[in-house]
């Protein structure tokens, strides 16, 4: 008895239409929602920056600050303009403000949702006047010049002796050197009751021109307090006040010595 082998008929599986796929429509729905959210946050008027609030300014113009910020806000996504609060680069805005306004020492910038930018400025304060090549500038506590000015009687006047052209916003003297000058100024005002006409700053030497016509030589690299102590002793013990008008200089730069010289008559 012979048996014939039985073979199942071959069935061609038809591919399911992608339009009937649940995942396809979920993906389309996700893209629609994502696009709507993107449009809302990037292009809708609700999140477009409309207000720039500047506080803390005194020397700089509020309108000039706003103009710089406005230039940074003008952005395009693809070819579409937007001022979305989410796209503004706060670090870039801060950098531009500090670079373009030397009077500003610090700028704090925050997003004020939904449509404002809050800018708090900290301006530089002049502690001394820095004079170089016929021009004088306000000098802050970090040794940075930030605006052209006239010499002021209530501030130390420092004359630079290095042949270098400086620009606003540049550090022209080390903070430690400046602090020593201010320490000397305070000592002369409060302890000695003597008027300093001006400081002449070299890298390794500091000259004081006194209102009475003589000079005093300091070494800014050494202990200023010790040099002031020597000066106080020599003025009290060796140079009578009535003879100061005849002084040429007092030398304080070397060790424990405090030498002086009268003008030749």
pLDDT in tens, 77-117: 777 899 999 999 999 999 999 999 999 999 999 999 999 99
* pLDDT class of 228 with cuts at 50, 70, 90: very high
What are the structural domain ranges in the chain?
45-123, 128-262
Residue 187 has pLDDT above 90, yes or no: yes
CA distance 61 to 210: 38
- Is 45-123 a CATH 3.10.20.310 domain? yes
- Can you give the pTM of this predicted structure? 0.82
The 8-class DSSP code of residue 160 comes to E
* pLDDT class of 8 with cuts at 50, 70, 90: low
- Report the pLDDT averaged over residues 183-187: 97
* pLDDT class of 152 with cuts at 50, 70, 90: confident
* pLDDT class of 18 with cuts at 50, 70, 90: low
- For residue 7, what pLDDT is reported? 59
Residue 226 has pLDDT above 80, yes or no: yes
- Note whether 128 and 140 are within 8 A (CB): no
- For residue 34, what pLDDT is reported? 65
1-to-4, 5, 6, 253 alpha-carbon distances in Å? 10, 13, 16, 130
For domain 128-262, which CATH number applies: 3.40.30.10, 3.40.50.1220, 3.90.650.10, 3.40.50.11690?
3.40.50.11690
Pick the more confident residue, 26 or 240. Answer: 240
Q: Please, what is the end-to-end C-alpha distance for the chain in angstroms? A: 153
SS (H, E, C) 173-194: CCHHHHHHHHHHHHHHHHHHCC
Residue 128 has pLDDT above 80, yes or no: yes
- For residue 25, what pLDDT is reported? 58
- For residue 2, what pLDDT is reported? 53
């Amino acid at each position: 008895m012979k048996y014939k082998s039985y073979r199942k008929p071959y069935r061609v599986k038809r591919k399911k239409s992608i339009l009937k796929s649940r995942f396809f429509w979920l993906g389309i729905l996700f893209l629609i929602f994502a696009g709507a959210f993107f449009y809302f946050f990037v292009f809708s008027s609700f999140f477009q920056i409309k207000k720039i609030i500047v506080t803390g300014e005194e020397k700089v113009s509020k309108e000039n600050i706003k103009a710089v910020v406005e230039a940074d806000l003008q952005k395009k996504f693809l070819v579409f303009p937007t001022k979305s609060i989410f796209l503004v680069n706060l670090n870039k805005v801060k950098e531009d403000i500090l670079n373009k306004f030397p009077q500003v020492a610090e700028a704090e910038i925050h997003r004020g949702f939904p449509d404002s930018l809050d800018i708090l400025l900290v301006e530089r304060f002049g502690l001394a006047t820095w004079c170089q090549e016929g021009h004088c500038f306000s000098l802050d506590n970090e040794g940075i010049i930030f605006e052209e000015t006239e010499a002021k009687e209530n501030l130390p006047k420092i004359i630079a002796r290095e042949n270098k052209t400086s620009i606003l916003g540049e550090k022209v003297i080390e903070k430690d050197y400046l602090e020593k000058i201010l320490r000397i100024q305070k000592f002369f005002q409060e302890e000695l009751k003597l008027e300093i006409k001006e400081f002449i700053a070299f890298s390794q030497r500091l000259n004081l021109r006194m209102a009475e016509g003589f000079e005093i030589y300091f070494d800014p690299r050494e202990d200023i307090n010790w040099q002031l102590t020597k000066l106080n002793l020599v003025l009290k013990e060796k140079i009578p006040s009535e003879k100061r008008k005849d002084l040429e200089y007092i030398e304080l730069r070397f060790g424990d010595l405090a030498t002086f010289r009268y003008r030749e008559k």
